[in-house]
Structure 1
Amino acid sequence: MLEVRNLSLRYGRHRALEDVSVSVGEGETVVILGANGAGKSSLLKAIAGLARPEKGSEITIDGRSLIGVAPHRIPETGIALVPEGRGMFGDLTVEENLLLGANPRRARAGEAERSALVYDLFPRLAERRRQSVRTMSGGEQQMVAIGRALMSNPQYLMLDEPSLGLAPIVVTELFAALDRVKKTGVALLLVEQNVSISLSISDRGYLMEAGRIVGADTAEALKTDAAVQQAFLGGSAA
């Protein structure tokens, strides 16, 4: 299990997170919902080692503490992050970007199988494996970013706003692929503005506001929760 307990985080004088506790079980899909600036991305960055929590914070995977683990070591623990903005190497090809994802030791034995999975999930990438990533559309780049993360053989895959700036048809395609990833046993932790589609593939969700967790429930319950409907779903159930 991936567990975060009493997580607090500051950027200078700004408190981004305060006493945040969330968990993701093996093979589970969990979504973090909240307005811009609620602290959702900061949570993912703290788990990925990209932001330093305050003393007393706890982040563990299967009981092993991740506090103080260098960001480049985090993939070896079984956690992969698809960041907002994707973080692509634009001058490299699709295939080269994917191969970079397979760099962790835990990923090397099954590299060929995971590459086949990525190309099966995203056939468009198979057609364009020799193409420079910078020449691709935003949706295609997001597919590469997710594929690169999967190449690291993650136990937990974290995604920060995967649908941001993408056309609705591409978003549908991406989330269909993520639903297939879920069925392989990989746990997903999503931060996503498209609340309806993220709840459709999630088991549970947390509500964040001003750096705090202010609610939590099953995805089905959140879909019909009046406050969630009003804040995120236009006042009607998904």
Structure 2
Amino acid sequence: MLEIRNLSLRYGRHLALDDISVSIAQGETVVILGANGAGKSSLLKAVAGLVKPEGKSVIALEGNSILGTPPHRIPEAGIALVPEGRGVFGDLTVEENLTLGANPKRARATEVERHALIFELFPRLAERRNQMVRTMSGGEQQMVAIGRALMSNPKYLMLDEPSLGLAPIVVTELFSALRKVQQTGVGLLLVEQNVSISLSISDRGYLMEAGRIVGENTAEALKTDAAVQKAFLGGTAA
């Protein structure tokens, strides 16, 4: 299990995360819902080691603390992040981006199998494996970003707004691939603006507001929750 407990984070005087607790079991899919500025991305960055939480914060993987682990060591522990904005290497090919993702020691023994899985998830990448990533569409670049993260052989995959700026047909394709990733036993921790589609693949969800967790329930219950309907789905629960 990946456990986040009593997590607090400041940017200068601004309290971005205020004593929040979130957990995700291996193989589970959990979505974090909230308005822009709620602290969702800060949560993922804290787990990835990109920002430093405050004193009593706990981030533990399978009971072992990973708080303070350098960011480049987090994938070795079994956690991969697909950041908002993708973070792909535009002047490298698809193949080169994927190869970089297999750098952790935990990934090297299964590199060939991982390549095959990613090309099965995203056939377009197989067709364009020698293409410079900067020449690809936004949706294709997101596929590269997800594929590169999966090359690290993660136990948990964190995705920050994977559908941002993409056409609906591409979003459908991406989430279809994520459903197949679920079947491999990888846990997904998802921050996503498309609430309807993210709840459709999730087991549970948390609601965030102003850096705090203000609600938690199963995905099915959240779909019909009046507050979620009003805030995100443009209506009221029946």
TM-score w.r.t. length of structure 1:
0.99
Give the 5 Å matches for 1:79-90. 79-90=79-90
**Structure 2 stretches lacking a partner, 5+ long:** none
Give the 5 Å matches for 1:149-168. 149-168=149-168
Write the distance in 1 (CA, Å) between the matches of 2:218 and 2:135: 40
Deviations 1:96-135 (A, max 9, x none): 0000000000000000000000000000000000000000
Q: How many residues align?
A: 238
Identity of aligned residues (%): 81
| Alignment partner, residue 214 of structure 1 | 214
Question: Are residue 122 (structure 1) and residue 122 (structure 2) matched?
Answer: yes
SS of equivalent to 1:174: helix
SS of equivalent to 1:230: helix
| Alignment partner, residue 232 of structure 2 | 232
Question: Are residue 18 (structure 1) and residue 14 (structure 2) matched?
Answer: no
| Alignment partner, residue 203 of structure 1 | 203
Distance apart, 1:236 and its partner CA? 5.0
Question: Are residue 223 (structure 1) and residue 211 (structure 2) matched?
Answer: no
SS of equivalent to 2:213: strand
Give the 5 Å matches for 1:79-158. 79-158=79-158
Write the distance in 2 (CA, Å) between the matches of 1:192 and 1:27: 19
Question: Are residue 27 (structure 1) and residue 6 (structure 2) matched?
Answer: no
Deviations 1:115-174 (A, max 9, x none): 000000000000000000000000000000000000000000000000000000000000
Write the distance in 2 (CA, Å) between the matches of 1:85 and 1:64: 30
| Alignment partner, residue 55 of structure 1 | 55
Write the distance in 1 (CA, Å) between the matches of 2:86 and 2:73: 19
SS of equivalent to 2:131: coil
Paired residue type of 2:216? A
The alignment's C-alpha RMSD in Å is 0.9
**Structure 1 stretches lacking a partner, 5+ long:** none
Distance apart, 1:26 and its partner CA? 1.3
| Alignment partner, residue 3 of structure 1 | 3
Write the distance in 2 (CA, Å) between the matches of 1:78 and 1:44: 14
SS of equivalent to 2:205: strand
SS of equivalent to 1:196: helix
TM-score w.r.t. length of structure 2:
0.99
Paired residue type of 1:90? G
Paired residue type of 1:128? R
| Alignment partner, residue 188 of structure 2 | 188
Give the 5 Å matches for 1:29-44. 29-44=29-44
* Shift >3 Å, 4+ stretches: none
Distance apart, 1:194 and its partner CA? 0.1
